[in-house]
Chains A and B, each alone.
Chain A
Amino acid sequence: MASVPTTEFIRIAEQTEGDNTTDDPRFRAPLVTGGKNFAAVTETVANIAERPAPPQAWYVAMGVSLALLGLLGAMVGYLILTGVGVWGNNQPVGWAFGIVNFVFWVGIGHAGTLISAILYLFRQNWRTGINRLAEAMTIFAVICAALFPGIHVGRPWLAYWLFPIPDQMNLWPQFRSPLMWDVFAVGTYATVSLLFWYVGMVPDIATFRDRSKSKIKQVVYGIFALGWNGSSRHWHRYERAYLLLAAIATPLVLSVHSTVSFDMAVSQIPGWHTTVFPPYFVAGAIYGGFAMVIFLVVPARELFGLKDIITKRHMDNMAKITMATSMMVGYSYMTEFFIAGYSGDRNEAFTFHNRALGPYCWSWCVMFFCNVVAPQVLWSKKCRMNMWIMWVVGICGNVGMWFERFEIIPESLTRDFLPSSWHAYWPTWVDLCTLAGSFGLFMTLFLLFCRYLPTVAMAEVKTMLPEAHAHGAHSADEKRTDYRPDEHHDPDTDAPRFANR
């Protein structure tokens, strides 16, 4: 059975100091190292919430995050009381930091949905170690994103006009506008991500409920666990619902950033009016999202002792996806440039010339370096195994993707068709503080999540352990068609290899 080679692999992996990143096609690499069994997985994950106090770094991070969150509150309050004039937006640059931040944060969320939905459909079992963290990141990023259009509308107390609510003016939203598509896309995305995250978490909250000693925790976790009792009939429907959600969320994640890109692509500004935008935005979103996952997971696995569950193999795989999507992004940049020149459209060609060599060329260089050049270090396995390098690449990905949106959104507006209407754009201190503050909101939510909720999908990780499969004669496993070409003969000794099976 599968368990024999896996155990053998664990033995090999232990000899190489827990390195489960080697790809020997004869064995399935273990996804949980350190010889952990079911109880040890529970213990490792629950310990984060059950220990009397979190690590000191958590308090430091929380302090910084709360300070930034306070800054965000002050900036939003100032904006609402004064008006959007406190931002650097001008004529013709009507869309600037507000929309850049919105697109940036929505994009961040995409990696979470990719991990939870698309990798699930592709049966990438390593996703189980990181999917909960990534899904949480999605929710919090979408919360940050949703803030910006709300405060950007000028009169935030009328932001409900975005929704088709009957009112005494008998006015309805204009559904042919991409901005309305965005409302529905982001609204659906937030709802579906929240459901996915919560449904996935119910069995793990039940674990917390059953381990809690204090009455308050038992009641609170108990309510959110919905009375989960691990019944096989429940699991059957639960797994089906999870599969359906994954199947639904897969086209959704591809559609959301496409719809966001329509905000620009459907208009006529040079640099915006581009058919490549939907796939280009989606690739960028997944790249930026993975960069954020790496940025969060590297310290999280270190601080909360999750190294045996979020193993080096997980980091390795994420690095590879980051690099692949970074190259898709680079390819999109090249395509855009090529088409701008090849089209013969002078305005389009000027816009791209202006991007790389105009007054904002520094931002273009930052973007290009961070998104295309920096991730190339991940070709080397040494770099993928070095968590400091990974972390820096994660930061680069975030910075680069933010600048990509800055490149596209305000910069295309500064110089459009008519030189007499050109105007430079510079953010004000309020813009900058609001951006910094949104990181405070994101990090505060994320740190609270790490401390009080199950950071790893325990039930899912347990199914990846070799002992999660029954031994002996049973039909389900006998139908397995794993291809093991070397099963019968060892190339060295020509002896039957798995004689003990």
Chain B
Amino acid sequence: MTTDLKETHDPHEETNGVESTEPMLTGLLGEFADVTGVVEAARKTRSAGYKVWDVHSPFPIHGIDAVIGIRPTILPWLVLIGGVTGASCGFLLQWFCNTFDYPILVSAKPMLSLPADVPIIFECAVLFSALTAVFGMLALNRLPLLYNPLFKSAHFRRVTNDRFFIWIDASDAKFDEKSTAEFLSSAGATGVERIED
């Protein structure tokens, strides 16, 4: 889960007055040169029984969700709720303003004429669902997260360019610095890096 990155400890919490000289190992980062390599390695990582791990890539890799076992996000349901809320708010706003709080009679038309309310109901539904889609996605992804120990790695800078990474978190039950590093190398990583925090 995304919590893998969040669960790494805050260094200030750790030290608590005492100067810590030893940074904590938060996990291992395996670097891969191409999509095929990282997908194969991801498949092996999953079968090896790791639970707290992730694949990082410059673009969404087609089919990686099934390889890692990512379950579908609940985002569409949130957006549906957002849309329904928006439509209701759009209707209530118009009813409150023009029918309830300050009724305006125009050309002897009904005080509450639904057809005239449709455009604004629609626009509010769209507005609320779009806001939910974006902010819901950010919230589920725990973004913005401006501090991340991964960003200390110079190699990791290429994750937004042309390199692919597998991250295995130190909190994983199967994690062992030596054997996990060997595992990543054997899975085809061109380099394995310790990430400390």
Tell me the A residues contacting B by CB distance below 8 Å: 37-39, 42, 164, 170-176, 178, 180-181, 184-185, 187-188, 191-192, 195-196, 199, 203, 206-207, 209-211, 222-223, 226-241, 244-245, 248-249, 251-252, 255, 259, 262, 458-460, 462-463, 467-472, 474-477
Seed contacts A237-B141, A244-B133; 4 additional CB < 8 Å A-B pairs: A192-B127, A230-B57, A467-B35, A469-B62
Given contacts A42-B162, A176-B116, A236-B65, contact A191 B130 (CB under 8 A): yes
Q: Are A188 and B127 in contact (CB under 8 A)?
A: yes
Determine whether the beta carbon of A234 is less than 8 Å from that of B57. no
A199 and chain B: residue at smallest CB distance: B134
Contact with A along B116-131 (1 / 0, CB 8 A): 1101101110110111
Give the A-B pair count, Cβ closer than 8 A: 231
- B57 x A232 contact (CB < 8 A): yes
Residues of B within 8 A of A239 (CB): 60
Q: What are the residues of chain A within 8 A of B157 when measuring CB–CB?
A: 210-211
CB pair A235–B57 under 8 Å, yes or no, is yes
Known: A185-B123, A222-B146. Is A232-B161 also a contact (CB below 8 A)? no
Q: Which residues of B contact A (CB under 8 A)?
A: 1-2, 5, 34-36, 39-40, 54-68, 70, 72-73, 75-76, 79, 83, 90, 93-94, 97-98, 101-102, 104, 106, 109, 113, 116-117, 119-120, 122-124, 126-127, 129-131, 133-134, 136-138, 140-141, 143-148, 150-151, 156-162, 165
Q: Name the A residues within 8 Å of B70 (CB-CB).
A: 232-233, 236
Q: Which residues of A contact B39 (CB under 8 A)?
A: 470, 474
User: How far apart sit A209 and B150, CA to CA, in the bound complex (Å)?
Assistant: 14
* A255→B160 contact, CB < 8 A: no
Q: Is the CB of A231 within 8 A of B134?
A: no
> What's the dominant secondary structure at chain A's contact region?
helix
Asked whether B113 lies within 8 Å of A176 as measured between CB atoms, the reply is yes
Q: Tell me, in angstroms, the Cα distance from A323 to B119 when the chains sit together.
A: 30
> How far apart are A278's CB and chain B's nearest CB, in angstroms?
11
A181 near B63 with CB under 8 A, answer no
Q: Which residues of B contact A232 (CB under 8 A)?
A: 54-57, 60-61, 64-65, 68, 70
Contact indicator B130/A249 (Cβ below 8 Å)? yes
Enumerate chain B residues within 8 angstroms of A226, measured Cβ to Cβ.
138, 143-146
Whether A462 contacts B134 by the Cβ 8 Å rule is: no
Q: How far is the CB of A166 from chain B (nearest CB, A)?
A: 9
> Can you list 16 A-B contacts with CB-CB less than 8 angstroms, sorted by A residue number?
A38-B162, A39-B161, A172-B98, A174-B98, A185-B119, A192-B127, A210-B161, A226-B143, A227-B147, A229-B5, A230-B56, A241-B136, A248-B83, A252-B126, A468-B61, A474-B67
- Minimum distance in angstroms from A101 CB to a CB of chain B: 22
Does A176 lie within 8 Å of B65, measured CB to CB? no
The answer to whether B123 and A188 touch across the interface, beta carbons within 8 angstroms, is yes
B130 near A195 with CB under 8 A, answer yes
- A470 and B35: CB pair below 8 A? yes
Bound together, the chains give a CA A390 to CA B130 distance in angstroms of 35
Q: Which of A211, A233, A245, A459 contacts B133 (CB 8 A)?
A: A245
- Which residues on A sit within 8 Å (CB–CB) of B83? 248
Contact A241 B35 (CB under 8 A): no
Query: Are B158's CB and A210's CB within 8 A?
Result: yes
Check B150–A229 contact: CB distance below 8 A: yes
> In the complex where A184-B120, A237-B75 touch, is A173 in contact with B126 (Cβ < 8 A)?
no
How far is A187 from B126 in the complex, measured between Cα atoms in Å?
11
Docked Cα-Cα span, A427 to B50, in Å, equals 72
Given the known interface contacts A207-B161, A463-B60, A477-B63, the answer about A248 and B130 at a Cβ–Cβ threshold of 8 Å is yes
Q: List 8 A-B pairs, minimum CB-CB distance, nearest first.
A: A476-B63, A172-B97, A38-B162, A241-B137, A226-B144, A227-B145, A207-B160, A235-B60
- Contact check, A237 vs B137: say whether CB atoms are below 8 A apart: yes
Distance A267 CA – B165 CA, assembled complex (angstroms): 60
| A171-B130 contact given A37-B162, A38-B161, A238-B137, CB 8 Å threshold | no
The answer to whether B66 and A475 touch across the interface, beta carbons within 8 angstroms, is yes
The CA of A467 and the CA of B62, in the complex, are separated in Å by 11
Tell me whether A472 and B143 are in contact (CB under 8 A).
no
Contact (Cβ within 8 A) A241 B75: yes
Whole-angstrom distance between the Cβ of B83 and the nearest chain A Cβ: 8
Bound CA span A158–B117, Å: 24
Cα distance A181–B116 when bound, in Å? 9
CB-defined contacts of B133 to chain A, threshold 8 Å: 195, 241, 244-245, 248
Interfacial chain B residues near A176, Cβ < 8 Å? 98, 106, 109, 113, 116
Are A210 and B159 in contact, with the CB atoms below 8 A? yes
Query: Of A203, A241, A259, A468, which one neighbours B62 at CB under 8 angstroms?
Result: A468
**Does B140 contact A245, Cβ atoms closer than 8 Å?**
no
Flag if A175 contacts B120 (CB, 8 Å): yes
* Partner of B1 from A211, A233, A459, A462 at Cβ < 8 Å: A233
| CB atoms of B124 and A184 under 8 A apart | yes
Complex: how many Å from CA A307 to CA B141? 35
- Given the known interface contacts A172-B98, A463-B59, the answer about A192 and B161 at a Cβ–Cβ threshold of 8 Å is no
Q: Are B66 and A476 in contact (CB under 8 A)?
A: yes
**Distance, CA A228 to CA B138, complexed state (A):** 10
A228 with B126: CB separation less than 8 A: no
Output the residue of B98, B123, B151 with the most chain A CB within 10 A. Answer: B123
Centre residue among A180, A237, A252 by max chain B CB count within 10 A: A237
How far in angstroms is the closest Cβ of chain B from A203?
7
Q: Are B146 and A38 in contact (CB under 8 A)?
A: no
**Least distance between A293 CB and chain B CB atoms (Å):** 22
CB <8 Å contact, A245 and B134: yes
Residue of A nearest to B106 (CB): A176
- Is the beta-carbon distance between A476 and B62 smaller than 8 angstroms? yes
- Give complex CA distance A261, B41 in Å: 55
The answer to whether B161 and A241 have CB atoms under 8 Å apart is no
Q: How far is the CA of A8 from the CA of B171 in the complex (A)?
A: 47
